Amino acid sequence: MKEIKVLGPGCPKCKTTYTNVLEALKQTNIEANVVKVEDIEEMMKYNVLTTPVLMIDEQIKIKGRVAQVNEIVELLR
């Protein structure tokens, strides 16, 4: 099962990215463990300064902007 993390302090862009991840999973019928990381100290462990960050299986895929549903679908395939 894939591990997907959305890192961000809870800003609108972070929430949109999280919602887009859920929509992409629904479209692809892929099961994944989706975690929203809002704790600043936890985010610092990944050494990221710009949010939102989309991580799939512990690899940063998109950072600093909202990940669109179609982009996430492609990353999951």
How would residue 49 be classed by pLDDT, with cut points 50, 70 and 90?
confident
- Residues 8-31: tens digit of each pLDDT: 998 999 999 999 999 999 999 999
Other Cβ atoms closer than 10 A to 22: 15
Three-state DSSP state, 66: coil
Residue 63, pLDDT above cutoff 90: yes
Mean predicted confidence (pLDDT) in 50-71: 97
56 included as an active-site residue: no
Structural element, H or E, at residue 59: strand 59-63
**Exactly one of 6, 7, 14, 54 is catalytic; which is it?**
14
11 included as an active-site residue: yes
Question: What contacts 46, CB < 8 A, 6 or more positions away?
Answer: 7, 53, 55, 60
**Exactly one of 10, 11, 19, 39 is catalytic; which is it?**
11
